[in-house]
Structure 1
């Protein structure tokens, strides 16, 4: 993995102004502009380039931008899945390539594509190939929380019923009742490179989605999800997983123990960055 892949230089930054929605400080989603612009790449491959995505905001530490949100759906049996865009054939530099892309996600006007996740080497993972066969359900990993280890075996699909106590849940890190988290994988069945994700069900997200077109389309029943790869050096952060987070005022945020980057899962911002291309097949 190259240094430019792991740690893109930051060439500018502008935070969105937050507004209080349903008691939660949530960024002004849909506002024009960008939170960060990062270095370009001249590598060959498919997709990539200048990309605008929605992300949970980076609020402290060396990370250059937030971690990208994964739009979700919940099926009739309560199982939670990440939405994968439809596969299209497009022409890039005179060559036809396949990309997972939707220009107007659920009528929001947002272009949602696999490019959102093409950083930190994830662009080379099998699960990010546009036509990778997957049911797209979020599946439990070994579990970073006691409740999760009790409820699931590795590979089990995450179900909304297991988050019923989300308005009360706590684990003695930070404030209880902010939301109930789980860790897992996405589009990673029977592959070597596993895509890590984090899921959080929160009343704050549920309330904010009532007044926000993007959150209404990309979350459900207060469940939000993101690709859990720190944009600084590609470590895997955690929400309420480390008691050390309090030293950096991150006990109620997503904290990366590697270099103390902090993210706010209740602040969803637009980021502009240069996504890396998938390797040529």
Structure 2
């Protein structure tokens, strides 16, 4: 049986070793039942979902992390677009959903269900009625030194602060691939924080010339995604740790927890079962 773990990680041998244990087999069955129960809990939305994501290329993650379409306001601040809020009837009950069909003429249906995994489905910011201006906000402990120097906690990310994106480097991987930032989205005055990551890159600009979805969902070379690893919900990073080179991920998004790797310059369609939002 093949898997996606990098050859030198040693994790392939570990997984094969523990799966064969009779005692752990029972634990696995119990865990699977718990996961199924959580996935099928009552609530609105959820079910089989097609999402656009940054591609998962290595490690145990089952799929990519969902993309957040970007727009830039008239003053140069970055915002994550929220889908159109509408009311539908679901199982005889009127519920609100957030969904935009044919987003910006791309032929893709953009939905808040893209983000309904890893417990995020219960976050206040994912409620269609949550009031937010949708700006990307820098946190108090950003992942990059340049960001700590440019922003205070709560500042909005701005185009001008990425002006050196064609040459930026922090001595991890190749220079000039793009300039990243970390932050949060739809999380102000909410109990939970929705983590995001942004990159500005020439590669995204080039992709947008020939791809209707990339053209519709990115702007001025900026791409963003919900930064929750689809494996065990850790928070990965782009060029945040030198150890990523051990797994060939120095130029990609790397999750230190279990070595999942994502390519931010490959936006692909992914199919998964979104969890329903909990009932109030």
Alignment TM-score, normalising by the size of structure 2: 0.86
Secondary structure, aligned partner of 2:235: coil
Secondary structure, aligned partner of 2:262: strand
Within the alignment, does 1:221 sit opposite 2:213 as a pair? no
Match of 1:71 among 62, 69, 72: 69
Partner of 2:9: none
Partner of 2:144: 145
- In the TM superposition, 1:1-281 aligns within 5 A as 41-141=39-139, 142-281=141-280
Distance 2:210 2:225 in 1: 21
Structure with the larger helix share:
2
Secondary structure, aligned partner of 2:43: coil
Deviation sequence 1:25-73 (CA, Å, 0-9, x none): xxxxxxxxxxxxxx99322101111100000000000000000000000
Secondary structure, aligned partner of 1:211: coil
Gaps of 5+ in 1: 9-38
Secondary structure, aligned partner of 1:134: coil
Secondary structure, aligned partner of 2:114: helix
Distance 2:31 2:190 in 1: 25
Secondary structure, aligned partner of 1:232: coil
Structure with the larger strand share:
1
- Higher Rg: 2
Query: Structure 1 residues 207 and 156 mapped into 2: Cα distance closer, same or farther (>3 Å)?
Result: same
The alignment of Structure 1 onto Structure 2 pairs a total of residues equal to 250
Secondary structure, aligned partner of 1:266: strand
Query: Structure 1 residues 220 and 6 mapped into 2: Cα distance closer, same or farther (>3 Å)?
Result: farther
Partner of 1:11: none
Aligned CA-pair RMSD: 1.8
Alignment TM-score, normalising by the size of structure 1: 0.86
Secondary structure, aligned partner of 1:173: coil
Deviation (angstroms), 1:107: 1.3
Deviation sequence 1:148-182 (CA, Å, 0-9, x none): 00000111000011000000001010000000000
Gaps of 5+ in 2: 1-29
Distance 1:4 1:182 in 2: 36
Deviation sequence 1:182-219 (CA, Å, 0-9, x none): 00000000112000000000000011101111011100
